[in-house]
Structures are given as structure tokens and as C-alpha cells.
């Protein structure tokens, strides 16, 4: 069995810009901070919880309390809700992603599916609501986010452990992470995962330069993506 774990923003949903705009506004409003570092790649780890911790340390002189993070998460999610309500269609799946996930969840016994995102739990759940079926309600899908761990590597491993518990302790034939950022590629390399990119243009070239074995613009036709995952497993066995 192969394990394939997906990121969310820019990978399953076309939500990078929406997420960034709402996150920046949430930080400014919640902590009354006018300006802060938005060069996400300059942070040691690009996950919401890690970035929030670093911002609080720099501007407040301390780490955020758990109650603060919970309140921030609620406010951030409310901004996402408001933006999506104001502009219908603003949050949508990447082309082919919905059908791909439905097939992987329902019709494949040789591929285990997980989601590991650097987003906070409530914002991640909002983005997954763009799909017209309950992804996290599916018994085959494990989910982890930056509410579970600070680093992307630990978030991915958190999902992997859930899948091992679900499917048994036998090693997976291939472990694959699908993402749209160079931080996804670097985390995959650090963990020994095969990395598949999702992107176009300069982003696609950057992902290839970071070691992506292949970069997809979208998931159409989905059979190509599914077959490629199976091919990776055959190569690595």
C-alpha cells in the first residue's frame, strides 16, 4: 500500500491568496500590530502556529497563550467565512481535486489518503468545506494541522502515525507528499518522502528545483495522477 498525503492551500484548494489576506488582517487586528514580517519563507517553519509564535515573541515579547491561539483561530476563521460569503466562488477546489479525492477514498484499496497542512484546524476545515462532500468524515482519511504540531515535518508525521494505526504497522511501499510550496518540498526531503508538486509557471519550476519528481497543474484527468502514484510505489518496492 502507498501512502499519499496532501497539503490544502494551493494543493487541494485555490486558497493561497485568500488565506494570506485574512491571516495578515487577523494578526493586525487581534494583536494591534501595524507591520510584521510577511516573508513566509524567512521563518524557520512556514506553518500558522509557528509563525504566530514568532510574531508574538518579536512584537509582544512572549509566546502566545493557548487561550490566545484559540481566540485567534476563531477570529481568523470568521474572516475567511466573511470573505467567502461576500464573494461566492472565492474558495474553490483545484480542478479535478474533488473527483480525485472521492476516487481515492472510495475506490482504492492500495492507496492510503491523508491530509497534513500548515493551517490551523478551523481555517483548514473551512477550506475543505469547498468540497461538496465530507472529506474528514471519510473513514480512510487522516488529518493533521498546525494545531497539532509546529513544524511541517511533525504535522506530516502526525498524519502518518494515524494511518499506521488505521492500517497496521507494516511499512508503506511508498510515502508521498503533495504540496505547492518549496517548504513542502523541503519537508518531504527531510522525511524521505517522495514529493509531487502542484503548480504552474515559475512556481512549478521552483518545485522541480527543490526535488519534485513531477509537478501537476491540476488533477485532470485524475487517472493520470492515480496511475503515477501507483508507479512510484512499484519503483520503490
The whole-angstrom separation of Cα 119 and Cα 223 is 28
Q: How far is CA 51 from CA 20, 36, 45, 187, 230, in A?
A: 12, 11, 7, 16, 35
Phi then psi dihedrals of residue 162, to 5 deg? -65, -40
pLDDT at 183 over 70: yes
Phi then psi dihedrals of residue 144, to 5 deg? -140, 155
The CATH topology of domain 2-15+92-236 is Rossmann fold (3.40.50)
For residues 179-191, give the mean pLDDT.
Answer: 97
Residue-wise pLDDT for 48-104, tens only, equals 999 999 999 999 999 999 999 999 999 999 999 999 999 988 999 999 999 999 999
Residue-wise pLDDT for 204-215, tens only, equals 999 999 999 999
Pick the range with the lowest mean pLDDT from 42-46, 113-117, 180-184, 211-215.
Answer: 42-46
pLDDT band at 233 (very low <50, low <70, confident <90, very high): low
Helix (H), strand (E) at residue 32: none
β-bridge mates for residue 9, sequence order? 13
pLDDT at 43 over 80: yes
Q: Name which of 142, 123, 98 is nearest 5 in CA terms.
A: 142
Map out the domains of the chain as residue ranges.
Answer: 2-15+92-236, 16-86
Amino acid at each position: 500500500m502507498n501512502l499519499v498525503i496532501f497539503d490544502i492551500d494551493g494543493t487541494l484548494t485555490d486558497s493561497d491568496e485568500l488565506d494570506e489576506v485574512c491571516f495578515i488582517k487577523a494578526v493586525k487586528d487581534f494583536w494591534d500590530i501595524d507591520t510584521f514580517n510577511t516573508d513566509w519563507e524567512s521563518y524557520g517553519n512556514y506553518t500558522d502556529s509557528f509563525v504566530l509564535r514568532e510574531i508574538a515573541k518579536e512584537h509582544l515579547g512572549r509566546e502566545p497563550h493557548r487561550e490566545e491561539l484559540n481566540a485567534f483561530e476563531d477570529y481568523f476563521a470568521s474572516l475567511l467565512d466573511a470573505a467567502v460569503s461576500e464573494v461566492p466562488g472565492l474558495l474553490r477546489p483545484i480542478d479535478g481535486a474533488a473527483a480525485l479525492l472521492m476516487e481515492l477514498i472510495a475506490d482504492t484499496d492500495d492507496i492510503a489518503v491523508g491530509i497534513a497542512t500548515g493551517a490551523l484546524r478551523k481555517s483548514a476545515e473551512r477550506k475543505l468545506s469547498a468540497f461538496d462532500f465530507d472529506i474528514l468524515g471519510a473513514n480512510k482519511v487522516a488529518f493533521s494541522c498546525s494545531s497539532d504540531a509546529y513544524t511541517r515535518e511533525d504535522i506530516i508525521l502526525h498524519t502518518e502515525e494515524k494511518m499506521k494505526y488505521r492500517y497496521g504497522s507494516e511499512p508503506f511501499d511508498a510515502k508521498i507528499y503533495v504540496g505547492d510550496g518549496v517548504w513542502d518540498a523541503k519537508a518531504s526531503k527531510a522525511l524521505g518522502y517522495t514529493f509531487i508538486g502542484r503548480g504552474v509557471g515559475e512556481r512549478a519550476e521552483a518545485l522541480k528545483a527543490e526535488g519534485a519528481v513531477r509537478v501537476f497543474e491540476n488533477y485532470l484527468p485524475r487517472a493520470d495522477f492515480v496511475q503515477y502514484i501507483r508507479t512510484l510505489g512499484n519503483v520503490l518496492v
